[in-house]
Amino acid sequence: MKQPRWIQTIVFLIFGIIVLLPILFMVFGSFWADGQLSLSSYRELLFDKRQIGLIKNSFGLSFGATLLSLAIGVPLAFLSAKTNLWGRKLLGIAYLIPILIPPYMHAIVWTHLLSKNGLINQCIAQLFSLKETPFDIYGIPGAIFVLTLAYFPFVTLLTASGLRSIDRRMEEASLLHHGPWKTIKGITLPLIAPHILCGALFVFIFSVINFGVPDILRLRVYPLEVFIQFSAYYNEKAAMALSLPLVGLTLLLVALQKWYMKDRSYVNLASGFEETRLYHLGQLQGLACIFAFTILFLSVVTPIGVLLKVAGPISTYVKVLETSKTQIGYSIVLALIGGFSMACLAFFISYFIERTANRAAKTVVEFATLIPFAIPATVLGIGMIKVWNRPITDVIYGSSLIIILGYVAHFIPFTTRVTSSALKQVNPRLEEMAFLVTANWFKVIGKIVLPLIRPGLLAAFFIGFILSVGDLGTTLLIMPPGKTTLPVKIYNLMHYGAEQMVAALCLVLIGIILVFSGTFYMAYKKVTKTN
């Protein structure tokens, strides 16, 4: 049973206008100069020794961070979702904290500890009376370390949401004949491959377009070239041209991922309706605990500890709340609406992608949702101004709505990947059976599909929310006059040298999001129980 035509039309119209139009404007603009077709913007794309060097740095960094995030993120997800690890409930929430801390804060924290004058370096050097300090955070290994700590939760979050939807009977069937290791390797992991790969893709993309972390760690990377086009030459066309290789790379990676997963089935017959099956750790309990809590110590306790120390007395927090409460409220409301809109739109798009019989349409739509992945925030912002800054659309461009549209346009690829991974696990036969009883598409979706992919939808909403709360690049270009979002405020304070305030603001933000997520989680539990 297909989506009703009119829903498809509306969804594609919304997607086309909000997401694709600004980007198409910029892409076509980059081939256009002085009123005719021209490749002059592409002259910046030299691929000389210097640019190749930057690309090498970017690739080394991103591959390193992706591999390390997989090495940490997948076992962590497994431990928290599928084993009887001590403290797994705590772990199941705490591992998300690192993505609530902006990546550049992770970088700043670790420069405090691991630079030449850094605390840890100095302690170790004195303890063992070394002449040279043992660690150097500046450079590729340091950047890989920091980016991994900042982004591995995406792998964990997605892997865990996949693990929660696995049909336990498959594992149980395997366990009748094989040991737990073979079952994990042969059944559990392959079943959640879409989720793991999706997480890996996120980390790779975030790392390859990230500019703040390498910048603080004094590593020159390719996105700097794009940024220079804006900030030194104000040439948005050349910036677009320079970012096309990143877009191409992203599409290539996704194509590889699809090719790898081709013709395999990830459907779960009874996904999500039973308790997940837990593996018993036995003797490995201690080792697993050490692993999990080391990661938490590095990615949560350390940054929060340093932030607490920098922020200092309670009075800083009071001051921060007094001066920034409007911006905090504003950002959170916008991001909630943004996350919610993204999850909805992503669901409808994914549903089309996963259920349409038309393979060509499927491929086209799927790749279209991926394009914004690697488009630099500033390019997108300029495109949005060109599309929306018109007298007719004044209601949108002149109000906060434009920021929400910006969030959706910027982050829809992430939420769509998440909802698609979730939908892959749902057997279409279930829906077909339901259509024998009713022809109402909404009823079937509401009663069958949505409950089945609830963990995926929640993950999509949460990721959309987090990304929106932290967005700076696009917001800065389209923010209506008179409004300020939290990241803009934080950057302002950073430049002013108000380290205390910045640290306190980050902690307040983490606190608010944790309280909010906690309440949300409880409400969600309550609702699912009464259902």
Residues that bind other proteins (CB under 8 A): 50, 53-54, 115-117, 215-216, 218, 220, 224-225, 227-228, 230-234, 236, 333, 336-337, 340, 378, 381-382, 385-386, 389-391, 395, 397-401, 472-473, 476-477, 479-482, 484, 488-489, 491-498, 520, 523-524, 527-528
The residue (of 142 and 473) whose beta carbon lies closer to other proteins is 473
Report whether 58 contacts 208 (CB < 8 A).
yes
The residue (of 216 and 513) whose beta carbon lies closer to other proteins is 216
Shortest Cβ 531–other proteins spacing (Å) = 8
Shortest Cβ 24–other proteins spacing (Å) = 16
The residue (of 1 and 46) whose beta carbon lies closer to other proteins is 46
Per the listing, tokens 């076509």 go with: 28
Strand partners, 434: none
Shortest Cβ 30–other proteins spacing (Å) = 14
Compute CA distances 496 → 148, 307, 480, whole Å. 28, 17, 23
The contacts of residue 204 (CB under 8 Å, 6+ apart) are 62, 63, 65, 66, 253
Shortest Cβ 309–other proteins spacing (Å) = 15
The size of the chain, in residues, is 531
The residue (of 84 and 231) whose beta carbon lies closer to other proteins is 231
Shortest Cβ 139–other proteins spacing (Å) = 13
The residue (of 154 and 222) whose beta carbon lies closer to other proteins is 222
Shortest Cβ 136–other proteins spacing (Å) = 13
**How far, rounded to the nearest angstrom, does the alpha carbon of residue 323 sit from its chain's CA centroid?**
29
Q: For residues 413 and 254, give the distance between their C-alpha atoms in angstroms, rounded to a whole number.
A: 12
The residue (of 220 and 277) whose beta carbon lies closer to other proteins is 220
32: three-class secondary structure by DSSP: strand
Q: For residues 301 and 97, give the distance between their C-alpha atoms in angstroms, rounded to a whole number.
A: 10
83: three-class secondary structure by DSSP: strand
Total H helices, total E strands in the chain: 29, 2
Shortest Cβ 330–other proteins spacing (Å) = 10
The residue (of 153 and 339) whose beta carbon lies closer to other proteins is 339
Is beta strand 36-37 parallel, antiparallel or unpaired with respect to 32-33?
A: antiparallel
Q: For residues 415 and 55, give the distance between their C-alpha atoms in angstroms, rounded to a whole number.
A: 27
Report whether 239 contacts 222 (CB < 8 A).
no
